[in-house]
A and B are shown apart, each in its own frame.
Chain A
Amino acid sequence: MIMDIPFELKSEIRENRLIISTSGYINNIGGEAIAKEFNNHLGRGIKYVVINLSGSKVVNSIGISFLLEILETLQEENGKLIFTNLDPAIDKMLTIMGIFKFAGKASNIDEALQSFPAQ
């Protein structure tokens, strides 16, 4: 059964890498919250971002459009975005929407952090 919990977001910086972890439905509200959190850190020189979706099982295309925007911004900055802990349904959705042509995916946060260039 799909876990259904209110949208929540947590973020942390590890060695100048931004890690955003979410739980709940990534729709307009969820997507906007992720983009806002990302933009808050963008001006501080953050170019490598991990979005950990371990607590999110449902996403809609509005939520995906925010993720695409983050991806485009990071491309312009020569940065990189990696998604982790993807539910199979979300993995498939992001694949169809073309996200993984430019973003990476990893099974967990540590694996994602290791795939960024060394500082």
Chain B
Amino acid sequence: MNNQSNIPSDSLSDILTNQIEVLSKKFPNFIRSVSIQELGDQIIQYLTLSFSDTYIEFAYRSATSNFWKVFSNSGAIHQQTFKQSRIESFGDSLPDNNKTVKIKIIHTLDDNSAIGILLLKNNPDQGFSDVDSVSVRLIVYIIEMAYRNIVHHKKEKDLVFSLNHRILQLNSLIETGIEVEKLDQTSSPHHLALIRAASLTNASYAKLLVASGQKIKEEYYFPEHLQNNRPVDNTNQISTKFTYREDTYIFDLFNKESRIGNMPFDDTDQLLLDALAKQVYASLENRYLHKETLEKQRIEQEMSVAATIQQKIIPIALPVIKGYDLAGINIPSKSVGGDYFDCLPISKRKYILVVADVTGKGVPAALLVSSFHSYLSAYSEGSFTLSKLATRLNKVLYRESTDDKFITAFIVILRPELGEIEYINAGHNPAYVYSRGMPIRELKGSGLPLGMFPDSEYSSERITLRRGERLLLYTDGVTEAQNEGGKFFEQKYPLDKYFSKHQHLATKEFISNLVKDIKAFTGSAPQNDDITAMSLWRL
């Protein structure tokens, strides 16, 4: 550029026109700059070409900063350096400052940030002309336009970042919903949701408490290592909570981060936290229902196994005993109890009749009944007395059963030719004997359930079943069948009345009619226990 201070006006006009033309050519490059760095490079390049043998600085200071970001040519083309200097000292720290001819312009921009341009002649004997000053002024205005473009570009970039962040939040919300459902039963969906909430809201710290009343059941912190040393600002916090069954889940997020320090959480953050908490609630509910379904399936499978075991030991047909009509029935409940009945011939002259009920339900009960059936079959082939047989059964069942499992049983030895009934009642319901026109007789007995104590002993009693008399053995599923009002069958229909009403029926019908009456009484109430009965009619 022209180094002369005094230039004729025509020549000045030409120089300025020339300057404007050069600047016009450079203008697109300035305007295309998307960062201060890029703009700084362009400016330094242009000024270095325009002002030979000149040290040049271009500086930028944001509205919120106390420092200048300085670009310089260090006196030679493309050898730019970068430094920061205090706002008040831009351009003042150069050597021999007072002796050097310079142009220094500081210009405040629209957003209160500022730019500075400093030109120093390397040779103190050289100076700058008025044209140079005007040229630099022109450049300042072009920089201002380019800066507006950078600000616009930055806003656009921030907007894209912000939109992407919203997409990220939505995506994570959906993904977290899927993830909390996927977790295995030992993982906690609420912990994962807490971490996601912290990340998506830019919280620097998060806390989750699961409380039941005053008792804290679970505590989670994110990041965990800050649990005891957390930089928490309680005024910068959002929370949400819900109660699921007995437990209250309290989510707290602290210290929303930004690039310029902490800032208040906004409505979107609260919505996001609430949404994640709702997902956790839904997940907990689904887990509970899933667990219940699995438990139901397990019980159903167990019941199915128990039913199979029970069906295998319940006799399909009972032996035909000359001079007697014998029948039995077992209607298992849905939950399958441990009822059992059977009639085993000991010899042509003796039979064992038994009706039994195991405490509890399901497979354990069915297995104990199965054991009982096996031991009874085995011992019945020996020459034990009924008392000995019961004592032995008690010992083996005590050994094989758990403390809460035992069997009540009514065991009869029938000597058909004599009509003799020898019986033992091991903690079971009394048996009934009915004779036409006579009051019903109860055969009570007094033994303890089998398998309850190791050394229980049993003594038998005897009666004679006369012709026309009927014996009924049954389980409590008959007498304690309940209707919807909670009443027991026997309360409304005492068995003696049933006997007299159906005395003419063959035993099979007698038994099946009894079941029909029970079903009619219970109506739509569920069958809670097995219904088992066996009856012997001496013809």
Contact = CB atoms under 8 A, between A and B. Distances in A.
Partners in one complex: yes
B168 A1 contact: no
B199 interface: yes
B202 A2 contact: no
A4 interface: yes
B175 interface: yes
B165 interface: yes
A6 B35 CA distance: 34
Given A27-B204, A60-B200, A62-B259, A76 B168 contact: no
Interface stretch (B222-230, B343-351, B427-435): B222-230
A118 interface: no
Task: Tell which of A7, A25, A29 has the most Cβ of chain B within 10 Å.
Answer: A25
Contacts of A93: 168, 172
Contacts of B259: 28, 62, 65
A12 to B, nearest CB: 25
A97 B223 contact: no
B164 interface: yes
B195 A2 contact: yes
Nearest to B176: A89
Given A28-B257, A28-B259, A97-B161, A61 B223 contact: no
A27 B225 contact: no
B192 A2 contact: yes
A76 B37 contact: yes
Contact of A96 (B38, B164, B222, B224): B164
Interface string A1-25: 1101111000000000000000011
B175 A92 contact: yes
Nearest to A98: B164
B258 interface: yes
Interface residues of A, number: 27
A58 B308 CA distance: 54
Given A60-B200, A60-B202, A6 B223 contact: yes
Contacts of A73: 37
B191 to A, nearest CB: 8
Contacts of A106: none
Interface string B259-272: 10000000000000
Contacts of A98: 160, 164
B224 A4 contact: yes
Interface in B182-200: 187, 191-192, 195, 198-200
Nearest to A90: B199
B223 A65 contact: no
Contacts of B198: 58, 60
Interface in B153-185: 160-161, 164-165, 167-168, 171-172, 175
Contacts of B38: 76
Contacts of B160: 98
A97 B204 contact: no
B219 to A, nearest CB: 13
Contacts of B203: 60
Task: Tell which of A59, A62, A65, A96 has the most Cβ of chain B within 10 Å.
Answer: A96
Interface of A: 1-2, 4-7, 24-25, 27-29, 58-62, 65, 68, 72-73, 76, 89, 92-93, 96-98
Given A58-B195, A59-B199, A62-B258, 13 more contacts: A2-B195, A4-B223, A4-B224, A4-B225, A28-B258, A29-B204, A60-B198, A60-B200, A65-B259, A73-B37, A93-B168, A96-B167, A96-B171
10 contacts: A4-B222, A5-B223, A25-B222, A27-B204, A27-B257, A28-B257, A58-B195, A58-B222, A62-B202, A73-B37
